[in-house]
């Protein structure tokens, strides 16, 4: 379980699992393992627009949980919880995203029209890509 936990908080690995949005770390911790209290600024392309989001790791319980929140970026709020559960000789990784759209009622309309669908598809796609890459790395480390 610790291998999966460490891979999930590894900035270098994160970059490898977000190729569709060309995500890269450009500020704060830009390589290696994130620890509680660390910040990282990510640059990525969404909707054809280059965007930046700075996240801070606010809580960590090694090797079962860590939480990062947006401290600067396009959303009103964004919380990402990473949970790890030992299961059937392996590790189950559960990612939970909670976000609030910006711009009040206009943002809520945008959320219903396209953002919620986009975020859901992005998270599912990223999870599949991440799962494949993390599994490959974890198994090759054994």
The string of pLDDT tens digits covering residues 25-48 is 999 999 999 999 999 999 999 888
Can you tell me which residue has the tokens 């396209």? 114
pTM recorded for the entire structure: 0.87
Domain architecture of the chain: domains with CATH: 2-141 (3.30.530.20)
For range 123-138, the mean pLDDT? 79
pLDDT of residue 84: 94
Q: Which pairs with CB-CB distance under 8 Å and at least 24 residues apart come from 122-130?
A: 122/21, 122/46, 123/95, 123/97, 125/20, 126/17, 126/18, 126/20, 127/95, 129/17, 129/18, 129/19, 129/20, 130/8, 130/17
Given a cut of 90, is residue 136 above it in pLDDT? no
Rounded mean pLDDT, 15-22: 81
Structure confidence at residue 17 as a pLDDT band (50, 70, 90): confident
Average pLDDT over the chain, rounded to whole?
90
């Amino acid at each position: 379980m610790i291998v999966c936990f460490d891979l999930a908080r590894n900035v270098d690995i994160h970059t490898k699992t977000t190729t569709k949005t060309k995500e890269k770390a450009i500020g704060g911790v830009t390589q290696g393992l994130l620890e509680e209290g660390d910040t990282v600024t990510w640059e990525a392309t969404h909707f054809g627009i280059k965007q930046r989001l700075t996240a801070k790791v606010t809580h960590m319980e090694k090797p079962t949980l860590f939480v990062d929140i947006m401290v600067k970026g396009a959303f009103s709020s964004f919380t990402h919880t990473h949970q790890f559960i030992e299961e059937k000789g392996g590790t189950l990784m559960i990612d939970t995203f909670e976000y609030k759209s910006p711009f009040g009622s206009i943002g809520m309309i945008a959320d219903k029209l396209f953002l919620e669908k986009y975020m859901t598809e992005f998270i599912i796609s990223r999870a599949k890509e991440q799962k494949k890459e993390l599994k490959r790395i974890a198994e090759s480390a054994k």
